[in-house]
Amino acid sequence: MKHIAKNNCLISVIKNGLATAHFNRPEKLNAVHLAMCEDIIESTKIWNQNSEVTILKGNGRAFSVGGDLKHVLNLSERKNDESNVSKIGHLGDEAKKAVYAMSSTDSILITIMNGYAMGIGAGFGINSHFRIATENSIFSMPECKVGIVPDGGCGLYFSKMPQNFGLYLGMSGEQIDGVKMAHLGIADFLIESSLLPEIEEEFEHAQFLRDEESICEFLLQRYCKKHKTEFKVPKQFGNVLGLSSLPSIMSAMEAQFPQQAQQIRKNSAFCVYAFYESFMKNKNAKLTLKDNLKMEQCVLDKVVVRNDLVEGLKSLFVDRTYIPKFNPRTIEEVNLEEIQKCFEPCFRKLFDD
């Protein structure tokens, strides 16, 4: 059985209880837009009805590079009008619904994050049952670089990382490879990309690979790559990230880890602060994925009306200089009352309950 979702953005082949599926926008590195979100939600229903296990990958050299914001906003002018804000909000809502649909499938979902896995695309990868990285994997949450805040459930997952390293990943947007993904728990398995076709064939014919315990044991014993190279978050770096306020974190980081501090300082100060607050709420309140997605919706609504988003995208895609004029310029200048307003409830419902 072959299922092509209505917008041709996600294609599934289902046989012997296994769905092999792929995002199908290779010319856009599988960037996420409204049509893809619709296709994800449609496809999860098909997987639930017809497959016990689903393997999801990207067509081409990316799993997914995240939201297709370049074509959502009118970049001809340096302003955010009501239409643009509405489009971003709508895309954000549908992407969160797609993340939740994927995370709650009855079919056991295995995501292969081969190539780029970024932004909301990384959210699709993280919120699956099993996650595979390869030597080609490049993971990042670069939202603060362009004037929005990491979402798609990544903030929730980041809050569970050892040594608070997820806080750094969200604030900096730093790219990490498959080895680091595996050691940080972003990926469950590190597997050579050349073995992926063989794995799919094994899954198709091996009927015992239809429960989580058997899948985990099979991948670990047969395919999981053993690396001599390890990655551990330096204890002192973790201590800095664990300080009691963002200004104190930045002050200590600039003294001890100036290169990492500089990466954060290049980004939107307002978005960095908003992510810090959302990270702490996730860490302290231990939110569910659904509650986290609702919180992310509220934050996105407040952030997209700011000029930082257009400024970041213009500098990246139009000027190609990446010297955005974010306002405020520094974390210390951020108005904390504005930050707290980001977490005020939204008036529209993201989910039915």
- Average the pLDDT over 31-60 and give the result: 97
Report the pLDDT value the prediction gives residue 82, as an integer from 0 to 100. 58
Residue % of the chain over a pLDDT of 70: 95
Find the range with the poorest average confidence among 102-111, 169-178, 302-311.
Answer: 302-311
CA nearest to 176, candidates 141, 149, 124, 131 = 141
CA nearest to 103, candidates 244, 293, 329 = 293
CA distance 215 to 210: 7
Residue 100 has pLDDT above 90, yes or no: yes
Task: Assess contact for 155 and 167: CB atoms under 8 A.
Answer: no
Residue 74 has pLDDT above 70, yes or no: no
User: Within 10 A of 76 (CB to CB), how many other CB atoms are there?
Assistant: 8
The residues near 147 (Cβ < 8 Å, ≥ 6 apart) are: 268, 271, 303, 306, 307, 308, 309, 310, 311, 312, 313, 324, 326
pLDDT per position as a tens digit, 118-158: 999 999 999 999 999 999 999 999 999 999 999 999 889 99
pLDDT per position as a tens digit, 323-352: 899 999 999 999 999 999 999 988 888 888
pLDDT per position as a tens digit, 259-314: 999 999 999 999 999 999 999 999 999 899 999 999 999 999 999 889 998 889 88
Q: Angle of helix 119-126 relative to helix 82-103, nearest 10 degrees?
A: 20
CA distance 126 to 155: 11
Residue 227 has pLDDT above 70, yes or no: no
CA distance 44 to 279: 28
Report the pLDDT value the prediction gives residue 76, as an integer from 0 to 100. 44
Q: Which residues pair with 117 in a beta bridge?
A: 64, 139
CA distance 239 to 255: 13
Whole-structure pTM value = 0.94
Termini Cα distance of the chain: 33
